[in-house]
Amino acid sequence: MYDNLWLIPLFPFIGFLINGLLGKKIKNEKVIGSIATLAIFSSFLVSCNYFLKLLGDTEKVHEVIVCNWMTVGTLQVDWGFLLDPLSALMIMNVTGLSTLIHLYSIGYMHGEEGYFRFFSYLNLFSFAMLMLVLGNNALVMFVGWEGVGLCSYLLIGYYYEKKSASDAGKKAFIVNRVGDFGFLLGLFTLFWSLGNEGVWTIRFTEISANAHLLENGGIIVTVITLCFFLGATGKSAQIPLYTWLPDAMEGPTPVSALIHAATMVTAGVYMIARMNGLFAMAPDTMMVIAIVGASTALFAATIGLAQNDIKRVLAYSTVSQLGYMFLAMGVGAFGAGIFHLLTHAFFKACLFLGSGSVIHGMHHAYHHAHLDDDAQDMRNMGGLRKKMPITFITFLLSTLAISGIPFFSGFFSKDEILWWSFASTRGHWALWLMGALAALMTAFYMFRLVFMTFFGEQKTDARAKDHIPESPLVITLPLMILAALATVGGFMGIPHVLGNLLGHVPNMIDNFLAPVFEHTQHLHEIHAHGSAATEFTFMGISVGIAVVGIGTAWLLYCKNQELPGKIVAKFPRLHRAIYNKWYIDEFYDALIVNPTKKLGTALWLFFDVRIVDGLVNGLGWIVKGSGRALRYTQTGYTHNYAMSMVVGVVVIIAVCVFN
């Protein structure tokens, strides 16, 4: 019934092969774009089919083994796929968004150098991401994990002639390597420690079924989960490994939307949800996750307050929102985390694509006016709502969603996370406070972005301001679909208190995901002061926070536009610190990057030149010397060769006959 799951990753892979191998010959942009989009769209259709099937099925967990990959001693690894509610939601998310963004890219990437390259990478990315979410064991997941890292590198460095882009690609790749290292270490330790208990496996179903064999809260399980969490921080841009994500905005905007907002960066969240049984057994790790998530949410939000590059604001917002998801994971609200993952994918993808539409328009205008201004700097924008009405409306809807205005999708998911961070057995009011502060800043900087970009007077250069067009339908259509999803997507996870109020509307997403998190149900018990009244109070507080944030933004960037300058003048050091991202990059450079470089140079000069080269050259000298000595045996005289043959015969007879 679920036998053909492998079709889902297969389609994008075929698309990748066609565009990657033949794209240079095809040349026609429309054909290339259609092939890629069709490939991912077919995979979306198949995913829909299986998703609907799973909805109507009582049995919710299905494993399909395609073939054996390797058998090494007690370790058997298959190319296997796992379809359960979690991966079903993820494949819908990945294929659906991917399809929309492929469609968008047809318009956005029009006329770019290496058009086919872009689409083949994008398809390869979809393939790897689907392997990641569908893999039934940790190694297949790791294949996808590395694959998405590779594609991220390739796509960030898409404009590889540009130094900053190739540097950003390298940075992303190297920082991700640190995380991957953690992932592998965790995997090894898990395999070894489960093996010590007699279960040699890396299959997720068996891992969660046998996790109880490990000591609950013991050192081993803590180490394993911390290693996995290190992997997650690398891929999902959390403290301390978040620095690559803002730089990753050097890539084309659709890439930022797909990889660095909606899908790849959520891989860490997905991985923790996938191994929730294991993580639930390590309360210390969970606490670390919750603290790291909350700090990241708050920290990234502060940086987002003062950035002027439209995409950078969104990047820090992504880091911040990912922090929310980790906060949810850390307090045991796995369902809420996944829910936020989905809603975030909708509105953040829409925001990125909207910013792409704005950049596209600005770029077009500058190009038309032969200007070389920065098309991404918000200080050059303003008043765009009349020029780009569709972009504006969709962007506004998504911004409302991310700010947590009631009945938009972000409200439900963010509120659920905040509630759990306070009310869960593993929650704490401090976590809630950090999350709430981050929410305040989110509302502020997102509306700052909207006001600076779409409201007020046009600050664009006079020669360019009249040439900003609305983007074509191929760009605005995905925007509209995503905005609609961002608006209503939240209704799949209506909180229980609200549901009860509206007459027993169920929380669909929680119910659907329940089989995945059955081992961790006990975490969902609410401690003493969690009641419906408190929950409503908290809901009210978060709405109030959002409104305050929006109001402040309106005050500063619409009503009284001199005020921000005054504030900056009053706290110049603080502003400079925030504007320079708290000097974290400089700090890392001084602490890690430069010492590593120096170590590398030292090792090169000492170890490589002296020892390795010396060894190789030494071997060469030995061979050369012995050759020089032995060549005198080659006299060239026939007699000598004949003589050695005869001696050989004598020796052979002696050995054979007289032995």
Partner 1 sequence: MITITHYMVLSAILFSMGTVGVLTRKNAIVVFMCVELMLNSVNLTFIALSSHLGNMDGQIFVFFIMTVAAAEAAVGLALMIAFFRNSDSIDVEDFSLLKW
Partner 2 sequence: MELLQLFFFYLVAFVAILSGFCVITCKNPINSAISLVMTFFCLAIFYVMLHAPFMAAVQIMVYAGAIMVLIIFVMMLLNQGSEVVSRYRHAVTGAFVAAGLMMVQVIITIKQGDVSSTVGPINSEVIETVGHTELIGQAMFTEFLLPFELASILLLVAIVGAVVLAKREV
* 637 touches partner 1 by CB under 8 A: yes
**Sole binder of partner 1 in the list 71, 216, 596, 635 (CB under 8 A):** 635
Minimum CB distance to partner 1, residue 648 (Å): 12
- Find out whether 123 and 40 touch, Cβ atoms under 8 Å: yes
Tokens in use for 239? 């403290």
* 632 touches partner 1 by CB under 8 A: yes
* 657 touches partner 2 by CB under 8 A: yes
- 501 vs 651, beta carbon nearer partner 2: 651
* 638 touches partner 1 by CB under 8 A: yes
- Find out whether 332 and 277 touch, Cβ atoms under 8 Å: no
* 52 touches partner 1 by CB under 8 A: no
* 652 touches partner 1 by CB under 8 A: no
* 629 touches partner 1 by CB under 8 A: no
- Is the dihedral angle over the CA atoms 14, 20, 26, 32 positive or is it negative? positive
Give, for 302, the enclosing helix (H) or strand (E). helix 283-304
> CA–CA separation, 454 vs 392, rounded Å?
7
The span of 13-21, 405-413, 436-444, 644-652 binding partner 2 (CB under 8 A) equals 644-652
650 binds, among partner 2, partner 1, none (CB under 5 to 8 A by kind): partner 2
* 646 touches partner 2 by CB under 8 A: yes
* 634 touches partner 1 by CB under 8 A: yes
* 636 touches partner 1 by CB under 8 A: yes
The pairs formed by 507-512 with CB atoms below 8 angstroms and a separation of 24 or more are 509/89, 509/335, 509/338, 509/339, 509/342, 510/335, 510/339, 512/55, 512/85, 512/89
> CA–CA separation, 500 vs 518, rounded Å?
23
Strand partners, 377: 309
**Which SS3 state, helix, strand or coil, does residue 203 take?**
strand
* 651 touches partner 1 by CB under 8 A: no
The span of 27-35, 425-433, 543-551, 634-642 binding partner 1 (CB under 8 A) equals 634-642
Angle, helices 115-134 vs 7-26, to 10°: value is 170
* 647 touches partner 2 by CB under 8 A: yes
Minimum CB distance to partner 2, residue 646 (Å): 5
Q: Site map for partner 2, 589-628, x if CB under 8 A?
A: ----------------------------------------
> CA–CA separation, 129 vs 95, rounded Å?
9
- 629 vs 637, beta carbon nearer partner 2: 637
- Find out whether 358 and 391 touch, Cβ atoms under 8 Å: yes
> CA–CA separation, 525 vs 221, rounded Å?
23
> CA–CA separation, 435 vs 429, rounded Å?
10
Q: Distance between alpha carbon 289 and the CA centroid of its chain, in Å?
A: 17
Strand partners, 604: none
- 569 vs 655, beta carbon nearer partner 2: 655
> CA–CA separation, 416 vs 47, rounded Å?
28
* 643 touches partner 2 by CB under 8 A: yes
How many chain residues touch partner 2 (CB under 8 A)?
10
How many chain residues touch partner 1 (CB under 8 A)?
11
Give, for 70, the enclosing helix (H) or strand (E). strand 62-72
- 529 vs 639, beta carbon nearer partner 1: 639
- 563 vs 647, beta carbon nearer partner 2: 647
10 Å CB burial of residue 562 (0-12, 13-18, 19+) is exposed
Site for partner 2 in 301-320 (CB under 8 A): none
* 649 touches partner 2 by CB under 8 A: yes
Minimum CB distance to partner 2, residue 639 (Å): 7
- 473 vs 650, beta carbon nearer partner 2: 650
655 binds, among partner 2, partner 1, none (CB under 5 to 8 A by kind): none
* 653 touches partner 2 by CB under 8 A: yes
Question: Where do we find the tokens 């390298």?
Answer: 170
615 binds, among partner 1, partner 2, none (CB under 5 to 8 A by kind): none
Minimum CB distance to partner 2, residue 641 (Å): 13
- 619 vs 646, beta carbon nearer partner 2: 646
Minimum CB distance to partner 2, residue 630 (Å): 21
CA distances from 355 to 122, 156, 477 (A): 19, 17, 14
**Sole binder of partner 2 in the list 473, 501, 533, 654 (CB under 8 A):** 654
Residues whose CB falls within 8 Å of the CB of residue 492, separated by 6 or more in sequence, listed in order? 339, 342, 508, 509
659 binds, among partner 2, partner 1, none (CB under 5 to 8 A by kind): none
* 555 touches partner 2 by CB under 8 A: no
| DSSP H helices in 197-252 | 204-210, 219-235, 244-247
* 646 touches partner 1 by CB under 8 A: yes
**Which SS3 state, helix, strand or coil, does residue 66 take?**
strand
Minimum CB distance to partner 1, residue 656 (Å): 16
- 58 vs 634, beta carbon nearer partner 2: 634
The span of 394-402, 420-428, 605-613, 647-655 binding partner 2 (CB under 8 A) equals 647-655
For residue 590, the tally of other CB atoms under 10 A from its CB is 11
CA distances from 260 to 112, 138, 322 (A): 21, 22, 11
**Sole binder of partner 1 in the list 52, 65, 75, 643 (CB under 8 A):** 643
Tokens in use for 459? 């600050």
* 631 touches partner 1 by CB under 8 A: yes
634 binds, among partner 2, partner 1, none (CB under 5 to 8 A by kind): partner 1
- 605 vs 649, beta carbon nearer partner 2: 649
* 500 touches partner 1 by CB under 8 A: no
632 binds, among partner 1, partner 2, none (CB under 5 to 8 A by kind): partner 1
10 Å CB burial of residue 648 (0-12, 13-18, 19+) is exposed
- Find out whether 346 and 397 touch, Cβ atoms under 8 Å: no
* 635 touches partner 2 by CB under 8 A: no
Residues that bind partner 2 (CB under 8 A): 639, 643, 646-647, 649-650, 653-654, 657-658
Residues that bind partner 1 (CB under 8 A): 631-632, 634-639, 642-643, 646
